[in-house]
Structures are given as C-alpha cells and as structure tokens.
Amino acid sequence: MPHPIPKKGSKADLDYLLQLMNMIFPISDVLKQEITEHLVSFEVKKDEVLVEENSYCHYMYFILKGALMGRTTYNGKKIVTYMSIENEFVSSISGLHGTNVSKEEISAIEDCSIIAIHNDVLQRLFLTQFDINYLFRVMVEKYYMDAQERTHIVRVGSAKERFLYFAQTKPEHMERLPLEYVASLLDMKPLTLINIKKQHELNIVKDKETAEFCVAIERCMAECELFKDKDISLQSLSKYLNFSTHKLSSLLNNQFQQKFIDFVNTYRINHIKAQIAMPGNLQYYTIATLANNAGFSSRSAFYKVFKKMVGMSPVEYARSLAFNS
C-alpha cells in the first residue's frame, strides 16, 4: 500500500498550530516563518500505515483529527505501544528525528488529518532557534509522563485493575477506540477486556440504582416523616417504597450501616433534638410528648435510645443547650 503523500499545509491548520504553540511559549517571527514555509499535511485513511516498522520516520506529526497508534512486533505478534488522538504530537519513539530506524510502526486507527514538519527542518531549527528547543522540551516532558503512565498501566495488578486504571485516566480512549487495540495496550486478550468492561458497566448501573434507592429511603424519612408512625416496620416501609424487604434490609445494612430499628430511631432522635433546641418549645411540650409525636410508643424505650445515641439523657441534653446559649 502506498504511503500518504504530503501536501502544503493550509492557512487554517497553520494558524491553529501557531496558536497552540504560542500558548506553550511565545514563538519568534523567524520560527513562525519557518513553520509557514515547511508545514505539510497528510490525510491518512483508517488502517493505513504512516511509518513502517524498521523504516525511517521523517516527520514530527501533529494530529488535527483522528487517532494514531504505535505498534511493534514481538514473536510474530503486533503489540500496541501507544495510542494518540487529536492535539497530540506523534513521532517514532525509537527512531526520533529520523536518525535511526523506527522499531515501531505508526498507523491510523481512524481516518486522520495530520500536519507535520520534516525532521531535517527541525534539526536545523534546533541549532538556531531557542523557542523550538523550549517547545520540544515541553513535548518531551509530556511524552515521558505519558510513557510512565503507559508503563504503570501494564504493570499494575490484575487485568481488572489495569482496565480500571485505563478507564479512569483515558476514558475517551476506552469509549472511542477499538477494544482489540486497547486490549493489546493493556496486555490482555480482547475477550478478557470485553468481559471486564461489561461487568464494570453493570456495576455502574447497579451503583446508580443503589444511589437512587437510598435517596428514596432518605426522602420518605426526612420529607414524609414516616418515622413518626409508631407501627412502622420493615415490611410496611418496603411496601411504601415498593422494594422487597430483602432489598430494603440489604440497603440499610450495607449503605447506611444500620439495622432497620436503629435507622428509624436515628431520625426520631434527630427530630426530637431539633424540637428541644427550638426556643420556647419545652414551655408548651414535655419531652415525653415530643417523644410520642416522633413515633416512640414507650417512654422507657425513648429514654434508653436517646441516651445510647446522644450520650446523655434528654433532660441533660436540654440543660446543655441552655447552658451553651
């Protein structure tokens, strides 16, 4: 297959690149002129090879649209070494500047629009222009950080841990690029990646459902004040929420870390504490009345629960509020 043929870079592409470079470091008029004269563009089709393995890489590329990857051959198998998308510079890692043959192939994962500067031009500019040296240093620093991240990805724990790390750090790659290439980068079989991804997506759905269930439980307590019902039970609350008793009990145990009665009593006690703290309230209501209105059917049970949760009796709590006011 013939390699993509370079064409003169357009003014729009040139302006975009110069603007991006200026954001990193102000570039001189001389450098702008050099880039204007020597910028070229490539249109690369999906699966087309831009640089062959064991050949020379003659350009420093910049992706305007699309995605490229580096691949090397080991024991007859193609292994993905990196993947890059829009607004990233790409060149051969092993054959940087075109001084050595490239140990990795550079090919298109998607249809790509690319602009580039020939390595001969760059080498000449490195000798005369400070700003291009500074810009290249920034690019190299980013490359090393990305390389460290890639190394970390393939070394951390299990296949699941590698997937989770990649999904968190490169979510756009996971959703956009072919899984077979992502699997190669993560050093796992495509089927393994597919299964892990499906389980992860299922867990996200379950987590979302769990959060919605918990909101519904809290709403029926905080807004509807169902805790005031003296006859409230796990069965009656689950019926109100349209949950099974097993699901409600599991949510209370695992998400709220409370048994049903402790969960209900927490709302009751917090309500009573708020009533006690309201100025003048105890002139019109006894503490026993507040407890009864909050859903406690037994005075002794209320005092026992209050002291257990608050660390003091209701009367002592009322006095502490008066003392601190």
pLDDT tens for residues 54-79? Answer: 999 999 999 999 999 999 998 889 99
pLDDT bracket for residue 2 (50, 70, 90): low
> Would residue 104 be called left, alpha or beta, if left means φ above 0 and alpha means ψ between -120 and 50 degrees?
beta
Among 90, 88, 92, 86, which residue's Cα sits nearest to residue 105? 92
Alpha helices in the chain (DSSP H): 11-24, 29-38, 119-126, 130-155, 159-169, 171-176, 179-185, 190-222, 234-241, 245-254, 260-277, 281-284, 287-293, 299-310, 314-324
pLDDT at residue number 105: 94
Distance CA 221, CA 223 (A): 6
Whether 325 shows a pLDDT value over 60: the answer reads no
Percent of the residues in the chain that have a pLDDT greater than 90, as a whole number? 70
Question: What average pLDDT does the segment 243-261 reach?
Answer: 93
Residue 255: DSSP 8-state = T
pLDDT at residue number 226: 95
Lowest mean pLDDT among 54-68, 143-157, 274-288: 143-157
pLDDT bracket for residue 153 (50, 70, 90): confident
Whether 264 shows a pLDDT value over 80: the answer reads yes
pTM above 0.75, yes or no: no
pLDDT bracket for residue 324 (50, 70, 90): low
pLDDT at residue number 281: 81
Question: What average pLDDT does the segment 218-226 reach?
Answer: 94
pLDDT bracket for residue 165 (50, 70, 90): confident
Question: What average pLDDT does the segment 184-194 reach?
Answer: 93
The residue that leads in pLDDT, 183 or 4, is 183
3-state per-residue secondary structure call for 170-204: CHHHHHHCCHHHHHHHCCCCHHHHHHHHHHHHHHH
Percent of the residues in the chain that have a pLDDT greater than 70, as a whole number? 98
Whether 1 shows a pLDDT value over 60: the answer reads no
Lowest mean pLDDT among 40-54, 164-178, 256-270: 164-178
> 294-325: buried (b, 16+ CB within 10 Å) or exposed (e) per residue?
bbbeeeeebbebbeeebeeebeebbeeeeeee
Ordered by where they begin, the domains of the chain are 7-155 (2.60.120.10), 225-325 (1.10.10.60)
pLDDT at residue number 279: 84
Whether 280 shows a pLDDT value over 90: the answer reads no
Q: Is 148 exposed, middle or buried (0-12, 13-18, 19+ CB in 10 A)?
A: exposed
The residue that leads in pLDDT, 322 or 63, is 63
**pLDDT, averaged across the chain:** 90
Question: What average pLDDT does the segment 223-247 reach?
Answer: 94
Q: pLDDT digits over 83-130, tens only?
A: 999 999 999 888 888 889 999 999 999 999 999 999 999 999 999 999
